[in-house]
Amino acid sequence: MASRPEVVAPPEIFYDDSEARKYTSSSRIVQIQATLSERALELLALPDDGVPKLLLDIGCGSGLSGETLTENEHHWIGLDISASMLNVALEREVEGDLLLGDMGQGLGLRPGVIDGAISISAVQWLCNADKSSHNPRLRLKAFFTSLYKCLTNGARAVFQVYPENLDQRELILNAAMHAGFAGGIVVDFPHSSKRRKEFLVLTCGQRSVNVSISKGKNEDGESCSDEDSENEENQTVCISDRHRPRKKQKKNNNSGKGKEWILRKKEQMRRRGNAVPPDTKYTGRKRKDRF
């Protein structure tokens, strides 16, 4: 069984010139990327008003998923950490704008300018610590926080992910919820080990709380029934609101330093032979605030 690319090497090293050209020239990979991109665009649920949207393709690689966005008459910006992949995208003359960067360090885009975001098989790379300075939780936090800022109110982000285990899935989902997103996991073909695909569907802004999440597809290509959704634990959608009420901290009135404590301490000091001021009616009295 082949090892997962995330385990072999960091993305900027794994996808070198040779691997980038091999990846892009594979007709099987091109077809898979097109299918996943179409599904991600469907889950974005963009308004059908005939106006092209500005979308963000995170981990765009050589621009295979970006071509789907172009075919649907949308403008897009592609971000990837592999210079070799972006070079292949330039040779292919993709129509999107390309950025070389690490999504784990934040996106660095202007607030509220992106109408939607997609990512195909990229976000799970943030769960690995490729350098001694890498902390997966902090990198996921930087990514989702910066993504939330650059999206317009009510915009969606759809990420097709391959989490290695349940811990990675929870790590990614919790980071998104803490950043303020609402949403959850949509599973296509939940009962198939080969065709199973997981999509993290997120919505930002005040309008995100009342937005329903699409259901996954079954083997016939139709939406899963309610029974399938209940039987499939990964089908559950977690809803979160950015403006959560803060927990009130309980005041600790039992500080132990009242009048009785002061008198007891003064008596101990006297028994030790220390000079202690005499007790008066002002001993242990709380001072009034001067301002």
For residues 126-150, average pLDDT: 90
Asked whether residue 257 carries a pLDDT value surpassing 50, the answer given is: yes
DSSP 225: P
**Pick from 160, 198, 180, 151: which is nearest to 46 by CA?**
151
In the chain, alpha helices (H)? 5-8, 11-14, 17-25, 27-44, 64-71, 83-91, 136-150, 166-179, 226-231, 259-271
Q: Which residues of 213-243 are buried (b: 16+ CB within 10 A; e: fewer)?
A: bbbbbbeeeeebeeebbeeeebbeeebbebe
- What pLDDT is recorded for position 192? 81
Q: Which two tokens stand for residue 208?
A: 């995100």
- What pLDDT is recorded for position 222? 63
- What pLDDT is recorded for position 223? 62
Q: Could you report the per-residue pLDDT of 206-241, keeping only the tens digit for each?
A: 655 445 556 666 666 566 655 554 444 444 444 444
Do 74 and 51 contact (CB within 8 A), yes or no? no
- What pLDDT is recorded for position 49? 86
User: Percent of the chain having pLDDT more than 70?
Assistant: 81
Per-residue confidence band for 242, with pLDDT thresholds at 50, 70 and 90: very low
Tally of CB atoms within 10 A around 120: 27
- What pLDDT is recorded for position 228? 52
Average model confidence (pLDDT) across the chain: 83
Q: Could you report the per-residue pLDDT of 154-204, keeping only the tens digit for each?
A: 999 999 998 888 999 999 999 999 999 999 899 888 888 788 899 999 998
Residue 151 and residue 112: Cα distance in Å, rounded? 5
- Which of 57-61, 113-117, 130-134, 135-139 has the lowest average pLDDT? 130-134
Asked whether residue 57 carries a pLDDT value surpassing 60, the answer given is: yes
Q: Could you report the per-residue pLDDT of 87-102, keeping only the tens digit for each?
A: 999 999 999 999 999 9
